[in-house]
Amino acid sequence: MASTLPPSLDSSAYLLAARGERPPHTPVWFMRQAGRALPEYRKVREGIPMLEALTRPDIVVEITLQPVRRYGVDAAVFYSDIVAPLKSAGFDVDIKPGIGPVVAEPIRDAEGVGRVRPVTPADVPYTTESVQQLVSELGGTPLIGFAGAPFTVASYLVEGGPSKDFAKTKAMMHGDPALWHSLADRLADVAIAYLAVQVEAGASAVQLFDSWAGGLSPRDYERFVLPHTARVFEAIEHYGVPRVHFGVNTGELLGLMSAAGADVVGVDWRVPLDEAVRRIGTPKPVQGNLDPALLFAGWEAIEPELDRILAEGKAAPGHIFNLGHGVPPNADPDVLERITKYVQSASQSAHVPA
Amino acid sequence: MASTLPPSLDSSAYLLAARGERPPHTPVWFMRQAGRALPEYRKVREGIPMLEALTRPDIVVEITLQPVRRYGVDAAVFYSDIVAPLKSAGFDVDIKPGIGPVVAEPIRDAEGVGRVRPVTPADVPYTTESVQQLVSELGGTPLIGFAGAPFTVASYLVEGGPSKDFAKTKAMMHGDPALWHSLADRLADVAIAYLAVQVEAGASAVQLFDSWAGGLSPRDYERFVLPHTARVFEAIEHYGVPRVHFGVNTGELLGLMSAAGADVVGVDWRVPLDEAVRRIGTPKPVQGNLDPALLFAGWEAIEPELDRILAEGKAAPGHIFNLGHGVPPNADPDVLERITKYVQSASQSAHVPA
């Protein structure tokens, strides 16, 4: 499907920035903006397990729209989870509240790898339906589709749940590289298939989350992860939608993550955006990077940080404002709204011709 | 007290490397080598809470010596915890098994800061006694004293326990800088006092752990942390013992952590040692940096990593081999022993004159 966006979408600040064109203001959205920080989210989700919620278009549409309504952000992000496509394709995984993805039978051998398969559109009619309805309701606001990158998804499947050190995953990489590559290869297919479903249904950008890649040395990333992530980006290139790539703690990896095929590189709070631009090497739009902890420090501490980030973002051919990681569940929605308005307004005035 | 070491200590591989002089082989020790990975440790600790164990010289001496006996490492590290001196000075903190330091009443205001005071030698006669006995038993093997750096200790006191994002700590830094600096200042005094007790009793090097500093941006580190850490290093300079500084995930901070006054800079596995040397800027010995996850990958995967690390370590005027973080509790002691022997032997043969 070629990219044929309605004019209003094409001129949206998010897509202009993601393409390195000049937007009317610096666009803003927040990773995990559709989530627990919003009381209206908690109300909708009450009593409904995460993975069940993701199969119900009424819930997915409502939750995805909530932050757009409340904050006036420049993009919606599809409400899903990186393990959702595995579950939809029959893999036994659950999401435990306050913990994250948990796998009853972690993958340790070829039999385990064999249990992983990509979704087909027939597996996820609710995804297609949700995206189509969202695109229709969102009008000129772009919808970002998303998927988990092979390493981060693999870490849950191999460790059995969230991990601090990824010891079993790294032991598999180094101790049985063939097994590792067969798993990562399948997970690349999973990501490709899930992103394809979302883009075919109308998502106008995609973000591939390799949230935990920062736990790897650049050497390990290049050898064990980059080829698989590159295949994901390459496989969706023909859609012509911007491809964003993000992980926390990836200061050492920004050049490689960019080289994997990202059109836009997400940056956490540790590396200033202008320094990130230098590490990326080739001129590309960047996304980020307010430290989420600053949300709790009071407006007087936040405002100068926003000014600094907007100034540093000018080093890139495009800047999408975001946090340096997801919205913390206990964040104050009023603060996020104020940040949205401030960034949109401050960046607009800066663009007024002299 | 000036440094007047017996000759055998002065010619120990660890101290020679830490001083940038040529050791007979690359010295090896492991952060958290005295710990749960050892069955003999688990046996000694059975039924004895951590903070109680630390007040008993018989236990501290035995546990500190265990890895020296078993692995033949080139240095012992004093068995303690970064919150031990707080506890000894009357602060209400506990160490919960499997969790870490836990504070019943987290510090959020000036009253809380007022509860923090440094130890005096009279508070910790057992520390003095343990160190003296250890130094006597260790003979030519150096004992490394240690303390927690202000930021990392503060993070436990402000958050109330281990944290992923240090949100409350960072909110205090940015939202109430005066309060933050008064807390960090007191914690610098705590570290200085605790290191002084250990060195006065005979420890021949010190390591200051800022384990979680890598959660900070360089900007925040420089403004909120560096001055306090620098004061710690400066205050103990007159002892003339090597001062080592370490935190995980500090690729962005290596130059600043070195500038704070470290004689030796510890490096985690994300940054190769030769690249670390470049970031440090001035020629200094380095310590590190095998990814602890590799311990589980089998010897065939480990050996080339050791060769690589030894080769990269030659970029520094001294290299102390270590893991890039602490020994995982489920590590196999046989693997650690094999690594010790391999590094000591491989580095020795490399130094044989041609």
pLDDT score of B8: 87
DSSP code of B10?
H
Strands A100-103 and A93-96: antiparallel
Mean pLDDT in consecutive groups of 10 residues from the start of chain A, 354 residues: 67 97 96 97 95 96 98 98 94 92 96 95 96 97 98 98 96 98 98 98 98 97 98 98 98 98 98 97 97 97 98 98 97 98 87 43
SS3 for A179? helix
Identify which has the larger pLDDT, B213 or A352. B213
Q: How far apart are CA B24 and CA B8, in angstroms?
A: 13
What number is the average pLDDT over the span B72-85? Answer: 97
Tokens at residue B351, please? 């130094």
pLDDT score of B354: 38
Q: Do residue A170 and residue B252 have CB atoms under 8 angstroms apart?
A: no
Q: Do residue B272 and residue A298 have CB atoms under 8 angstroms apart?
A: no
State the complex-level ipTM.
0.92
Q: Which of A329, A339, A298 is nearest to A38 (CA)?
A: A329
Per CB distance under 8 Å, which residues of A are interface residues toward B? 165-171, 173-175, 214, 216-220, 249, 251-252, 269-272, 291-298, 300-301, 325, 328
pLDDT score of A341: 98
pLDDT score of B4: 60
A294: nearest CB among B170, B272, B294: B170
Tokens at residue B68, please? 């020296």
Q: Kindly provide the b/e burial profile for residues A325-345, where b requires at least 16 CB atoms within 10 angstroms of the residue's own CB.
A: bbbbeebebebbebbbebbbe
Reply yes or no on whether the pLDDT at B353 is more than 50: no
> Rounded to a whole number, what is the distance in Å from the CA of A306 to chain B's nearest CA?
14
- DSSP letters, B280-297, are H-S---EEEEE-GGGGGS
Reply yes or no on whether the pLDDT at B256 is more than 70: yes
Tokens at residue B256, please? 């600043």
pLDDT score of A205: 98
Active-site positions of B?
A: 32, 36, 45, 81, 156
Q: Do residue A174 and residue B301 have CB atoms under 8 angstroms apart?
A: yes
End-to-end Cα, chain A, rounded Å: 41
Q: Please name the residue of chain A whose CA is at the shortest distance from the CA of residue B272.
A: A217
Q: Please name the residue of chain B whose CA is at the shortest distance from the CA of residue A220.
A: B270
Strands B100-103 and B93-96: antiparallel
What number is the average pLDDT over the span B114-124? Answer: 94
Q: Which of B192, B194, B202, B206 is nearest to B77 (CA)?
A: B206
B251: nearest CB among A174, A216, A251: A251
Our answer to whether residue A186 is catalytic in this structure is no
Q: Quick: pLDDT tens for A17-59.
A: 999 999 999 999 999 999 999 999 999 999 999 999 999 999 9
Q: Do residue B170 and residue A251 have CB atoms under 8 angstroms apart?
A: no
> Rounded to a whole number, what is the distance in Å from the CA of B172 to chain A's nearest CA?
7
pLDDT score of A8: 87
pLDDT score of B35: 94
Whose structure tokens read 């589980």?
A: B296
Reply yes or no on whether the pLDDT at B188 is more than 60: yes
B294: nearest CB among A174, A214, A292: A174
Q: Average pLDDT of chain B?
A: 95
Separation in Å, CA A345 to CA A16, A117, A341, A342, A352: 17, 45, 6, 5, 11
Say how many CA atoms lie within 13 Å of A196 toward its Cβ.
19
pLDDT score of A348: 86
Q: Which residues of B touch A328 (CB under 8 A)?
A: 165, 167
A294: nearest CB among B174, B270, B300: B174
Q: Tell whether pTM > 0.90.
A: yes
pLDDT score of A353: 44
Q: Do residue A297 and residue B251 have CB atoms under 8 angstroms apart?
A: no
Q: Do residue A297 and residue B216 have CB atoms under 8 angstroms apart?
A: no
Question: Is residue B287 within 8 Å of residue B320, measured between CB atoms?
Answer: yes
Neighbouring CB atoms inside 10 A of A46's CB total 7
B293: nearest CB among A170, A295, A297: A170
Phi/psi at B128 (nearest 5 deg)? -60, -45
Q: Would the annotation count A35 as a binding residue?
A: yes
Which neighbouring-strand residues pair with A266? A287
Separation in Å, CA B282 to CA A60, B15, B33, B261, B264: 55, 19, 29, 12, 11
Reply yes or no on whether the pLDDT at B349 is more than 70: no
Q: Do residue A294 and residue B251 have CB atoms under 8 angstroms apart?
A: no
Q: Quick: pLDDT tens for A254-301.
A: 999 999 999 999 999 999 999 999 999 999 999 999 999 999 999 999
How much of chain B exceeds pLDDT 90, in percent? 95
Q: Do residue B167 and residue A296 have CB atoms under 8 angstroms apart?
A: yes
pLDDT score of B192: 98
Q: Which residues of B touch A270 (CB under 8 A)?
A: 214, 216-218, 252
